[in-house]
A and B are shown apart, each in its own frame.
Chain A
Amino acid sequence: MARSGPIRVLLAKPGLDGHDRGIRLVLRALRDAGMEVIYTGLRTTPEQIVRAAIEEDVEAIGLSSLSGAHETHFLEVSRQLKSENATDILLFGGGIIPQQDLEPLKSAGFDHLYPPGTPLEQIVSDLKSQLRPGESE
């Protein structure tokens, strides 16, 4: 059941990775597109991310990793969402994620995995079309 009003999104960097250029660009683009975005900052654990997502009642979680630890952290977030029965939250991710790692992440529920350089507009429109399918631009 699609909600109405501004889309609420949680952005997070799980693990120890400090590369936050990409996620901060996404943060700004989503806010400029009228979404309500919470960014949890560097070094958050999957537990903290899932807890914040539920407390903040978000519709989507975006994770970023450029340090090669995406599998560990992204999959853990997906597992914990399942155990919290919160699989209605849309998952997406970005960063340096080798092609051969995409499939396991997609089957764990990551609908979109954006490589560096992805046009910001694409991320905005993907979220809008999935979360507010009836609303045209």
Chain B
Amino acid sequence: MSADSPPNGDWKERSWRPFTEKHPERKPDFHTAGGLPVEPMYQLEPKTPGAGEYPFTRGIHPSMYRGRLWTMRQYAGYSSPAETNARFRYLLEKGQTGLSVAFDLPTQIGFDSDAPEALGEVGRVGVPINTIDDLDALLEEIPLDSVSISMTINSTASILLSLLIALAKRRGIDPAKLRGTFQNDILKEFIARGTQRFPVEPSLRLVVDVIEYCQQEVPAFYPISISGYHIREAGSTAAEEIAFTLADGIAYMEACRDRGLDLVSVGRRLSFFFNSHNQLFEEVAKFRAARKMWAQICRDRFDLTDERACQLRFHSQTGGSTLQAMEPSNNVVRVTIQALAAVLGGTQSLHTNSWDEALSLPSEEAARLALRTQQIIAKESGVADCVDPLGGSPFIEELTSKLESEAQSLIDEIDQRGGMLKAISDGFIRRAIEESAYKAQLDQDSGATTPVGVTSDGEIPDAPFSVDPAVESQRKSALKEHREQRNQDLVDHHLQKIEDAAGQDTNMIPVMIEALEAGCTLGELCKTLTGVFGEFQDHG
């Protein structure tokens, strides 16, 4: 099928029927509570592309949630591997369908829990993982070959991948059976999130090492999740979120092409991660525009004709920065609207924030309510029964096309600057985001966009959750024991191999796996790498 000419015949016959014959829908037929029939998708003009058809504006699959609901994937992690394991098992028991690991900052940046840099940070925003035994404890009694695991890890994604492979081998599980996602998106760390450890070039090399290794050995994993989420949290507009995320995507595709990787295989395993904020219609339009633009980028820039390689699959999370500390239970309503936007926009997986996240990490009860919010949308509202239900609305279509053209102008500007790596290093991207953040703050300060329930004399309640500070000393003694029990000569030998590999063109993952199996820690690997790669320095 040529992508430019309108497809022939009726969408339902040409795409929906062949797809659903292979992948049956959840129910034989769908109808409203009052008994009215619900068609898979509504179209004003049957010849225009529908869901599952290039450029996928209406969704990447013909039946979308009529076939399978989105994955409900709540991000969790704090304190120690064992405590996080307990939260994971709680969420799985309550019907969550995938795991998502939050790591603490030392782990994300590459410091062990006993490093001076980790002081005060251990177990605070996520779980510390330094050794294969830590990962084993984190995933205790979790079947690695059936539960998919998403890891928010970037600078040290190569090390977490290596730990996961080492753990799979220890448990006798074929790495090819592992399913999940690594965030592994270093460019947005330089733009908006701030956990980069190495300079850009070697950081990008490690990103491609992960993609290359996964392509060969862990083919069911999504080795990168190109993230607009943090760009939006840093204050960008919706159009900037699309543009800067897709521009990062272009940079990764180019880096993979330079490595000589097959871009069809790369494209089929790319995933994206977007934010979902309060403006319901703009958010829905954003997801639709992003899907369409990425499909066009894959075809026009990278000459991909494989349809699956052009599909923008994405995870979404409700907007942390929209949560308010005053009258925090109001956040439940904000999260519901944002989750609805992500579902109406066709997300593949979703994290709903807990209402108390403006105060602290989520309490167990709030985490359950966040998950229940998704389940109510999925099972009680009926919105999952019709594909792209807002598609065709003149308002939504207009917003979709306006966001597309605004994002396209930004991508054009990035191209003119010589590409995304240049636009990041010359400060263009950060300046644009800061400008938007400043405008938004002034609007809020002027009273034009003051959130409901927020007043100058409003009270903020106590935080419902806190991490036990004892975790830091427990981690220190566990690591001390670990270092005493291992064979130090073997460790030194493997760290030397890491240093050698870092200076060469080889893929780092195999040597990292061996080093971690020999008892090397995440912090030791990173320290060795900084000796070769250098270390990122922020100058404000």
Contacts and interface: CB of A to CB of B under 8 A. Distances in A.
Given A24-B437, A28-B438, A115-B325, A71 B120 contact: yes
Interface hub of A68, A69, A100 (most chain B Cβ within 10 A): A68
A6 interface: no
B205 to A, nearest CB: 21
A98 B466 CA distance: 9
B463 interface: yes
A8 to B, nearest CB: 15
A97 B427 CA distance: 30
B121 A15 contact: yes
A40 B193 CA distance: 17
B460 A115 contact: yes
B280 interface: no
- Chain A interface SS verdict (over half): loop
B208 to A, nearest CB: 23
B441 A72 contact: no
Given A21-B234, A96-B358, A115-B325, A68 B467 contact: yes
B448 interface: no
Pick the most buried of A28, A41, A69, A117: most chain B CB atoms within 10 A of its CB: A117
B235 A41 contact: no
B539 A120 contact: no
Interface residues of A, number: 32
B235 A21 contact: yes
B93 interface: no
Contacts of A72: 119-121
Interface in A72-118: 72-73, 96, 98-100, 115-117
Contacts of A68: 121, 124-125, 360-361, 467
Contacts of A19: 194
A121 B438 CA distance: 13
Nearest to A38: B540
A8 B314 CA distance: 45
Interface string A31-46: 0000000111111000
A67 B123 CA distance: 10
Nearest to B125: A67
A122 B223 CA distance: 45
B360 A98 contact: yes
A117 B460 CA distance: 12
Interface in B65-119: 105-106, 108-109, 111, 117-119
Contact of B441 (A25, A42, A98): A25
Contacts of B442: 120
Contacts of A99: 460-463
A15 B104 CA distance: 12
Contact of B360 (A20, A40, A43, A96): A96
B194 A18 contact: yes
Contacts of A121: 445
29 contacts: A15-B120, A16-B109, A16-B117, A17-B105, A18-B189, A18-B195, A19-B194, A21-B233, A24-B434, A24-B437, A28-B434, A28-B438, A39-B540, A43-B117, A67-B121, A68-B361, A71-B120, A72-B121, A73-B120, A96-B359, A96-B360, A98-B359, A98-B463, A98-B466, A99-B460, A99-B461, A116-B358, A119-B444, A119-B445
Given A68-B361, A117-B444, 4 more contacts: A67-B105, A96-B359, A100-B463, A120-B441
Interface of A: 15-21, 24-25, 28, 38-43, 67-69, 71-73, 96, 98-100, 115-117, 119-121
